[in-house]
Homo-oligomer: A and B are copies of this chain.
């Protein structure tokens, strides 16, 4: 017999049926598919995913790396698993596990019975997983179109609080190699499932650099909430494009960095709302933060009540802003104007030259910092300055040095940022020594060298570089060139009018 609501889903009335959550009655989905209703992703996928044990079996059959696991039917089985995998031991419900519910940790054999009881006993269907000694949890949103085209969003880092997703950093601050391998695992995992849609692939990164699959959700996911503000196509639009058979949109980031913070219920009832509203008030004063409040009628501890996404030009910048947002007493926030350019020099004797770079950055309203960092006298300072610059939000480094000028090249060796070198004229050789020391870098480590003592051009070059992502700066640079031209034309006109003799002797 067909229920009346299922008749409404006949092929002629419903273009495509998708799910918002995998915990649905999969038998009904399968029946609908048999009746010709187009389900995306397929019921077979939902069936695999909603049973976490089945999910593990499926992925291990497809050679996806994942922590070892086994089904347990009684306490004896649990003990055997403990002997095999060691402790702590992860015990999980096969079904209806969500936001940390359905997981329990046994730290020793003695804790096994209470862990099993906490999960509702063996009748609920349990399995164990070998503890994954992860150093980071990563996630990848993967979209698959109806034509089986697959696009992956950037790898993110997820940080959990009591097993509930709390913070997501996009992109994950891991090496390119790890990003690539994480994306590969996610791609393969989704390829092994049937149907179109957006999938979230949760991964463990272990201390020895392994990527292990944790689990997959067949839908938009908390780890992809940041995409609403930070990516060209949000995971929600992407899911609709995928299931409706439209071409997939661009999943890449339009903002260099984003951080997502889940507003979790701190307290039951009114006092919880008061805390959340204070947080939201602080979030609203951060110019590049977006607040999402779900307007759930009831506040419960650890319940996801909303989220805040902050986008910015570097992870360091958005992390700073999040940190400030979480301080209850904070009344002002680090603005988006953390220094974008670092001007460094080997000695204060270089300052009379290097000040010209700062003057240009002032003129173009580019935030910068000025520091003395010597390659030869403060190598440790140089090391930590160069290797932390990107994380602090610095985007270009201008380094000036004279003589055997090592600072620009050494800094360039320690950062992936572009480094501009200013050869400062020292007492001997008219600065040629500085110039050659800076410009003649070996293959692999470039320094963008400007003319001897010409820190003005270093400032202008930094502005041009920043103009790559800031059209306002680019337009101001064009205007600067136009103004310079007009200055010269005025002089030319005066020479024309006055003649060269009175031009020279006014």
Copies of this chain, complex-wide, total: 2
> Do B285 and A247 touch across chains, with their CB atoms under 8 A apart?
yes
Say which one of A6-14, A42-50, A63-71, A450-458 lies at the interface with B: A450-458
> Do B417 and A444 touch across chains, with their CB atoms under 8 A apart?
no
Docked complex: A234-279 residues within 8 A CB-CB of B: 237, 241, 246-250, 252-257
Instruction: Verify if A103 is at the interface (C-beta below 8 Å from B).
Output: no
Say which one of A26-34, A109-117, A131-139, A173-181 lies at the interface with B: A173-181
Contact of A416 among B171, B257, B464 (CB under 8 A): B464
Contact of A471 among B247, B257, B449 (CB under 8 A): B257
Given contacts A287-B249, A444-B456, A470-B256, contact A475 B232 (CB under 8 A): no
Given contacts A254-B255, A396-B468, contact A457 B443 (CB under 8 A): yes
Contacts of A460 in B (CB 8 A): 444-446
Q: What's the tally of chain A residues with a CB closer than 8 Å to chain B?
A: 78
Instruction: Verify if A469 is at the interface (C-beta below 8 Å from B).
Output: yes
Contacts of A390 in B (CB 8 A): 474
> Do B439 and A176 touch across chains, with their CB atoms under 8 A apart?
no
Contacts of A175 in B (CB 8 A): 475, 478-479, 482
Contact of A420 among B253, B256, B448, B469 (CB under 8 A): B448
> Do A475 and B171 touch across chains, with their CB atoms under 8 A apart?
yes
> Do A450 and B448 touch across chains, with their CB atoms under 8 A apart?
yes
Q: Whole-angstrom distance between the alpha carbons of A179 and B472 in the complex?
A: 9
Contact of A250 among B241, B287, B482 (CB under 8 A): B287
Q: Whole-angstrom distance between the alpha carbons of A257 and B476 in the complex?
A: 16
* A343 CB to nearest chain B CB (Å): 15
Given contacts A416-B481, A418-B464, A481-B416, contact A457 B445 (CB under 8 A): yes
Contacts of A472 in B (CB 8 A): 154, 171, 176, 179, 252
Q: Whole-angstrom distance between the alpha carbons of A476 and B174 in the complex?
A: 11
* Nearest 7 interchain pairs by C-beta: A469-B469, A448-B448, A176-B479, A446-B457, A250-B287, A416-B477, A446-B461
Beyond the given pairs A443-B456, A444-B484, 19 more chain A to chain B contacts, judged by CB atoms under 8 angstroms and listed by A's residue number, are: A154-B472, A176-B472, A176-B475, A177-B482, A232-B288, A249-B290, A250-B336, A254-B255, A256-B469, A314-B471, A416-B474, A416-B477, A416-B481, A418-B461, A439-B449, A439-B450, A445-B460, A465-B468, A468-B469
- Contact residues of A with B, CB < 8 Å? 154, 171, 175-177, 179, 232-233, 237, 241, 246-250, 252-257, 284-285, 287-288, 290, 311, 314, 336, 390, 395-396, 413, 416-420, 435, 439-452, 454, 456-458, 460-461, 464-472, 474-482, 484
24 A–B contacts from the bound complex (CB under 8 Å): A176-B476, A177-B479, A179-B472, A232-B288, A246-B284, A247-B287, A250-B288, A254-B254, A390-B474, A416-B477, A416-B481, A417-B474, A418-B467, A419-B464, A439-B439, A440-B451, A441-B454, A444-B460, A444-B484, A445-B460, A446-B461, A448-B450, A449-B450, A468-B469
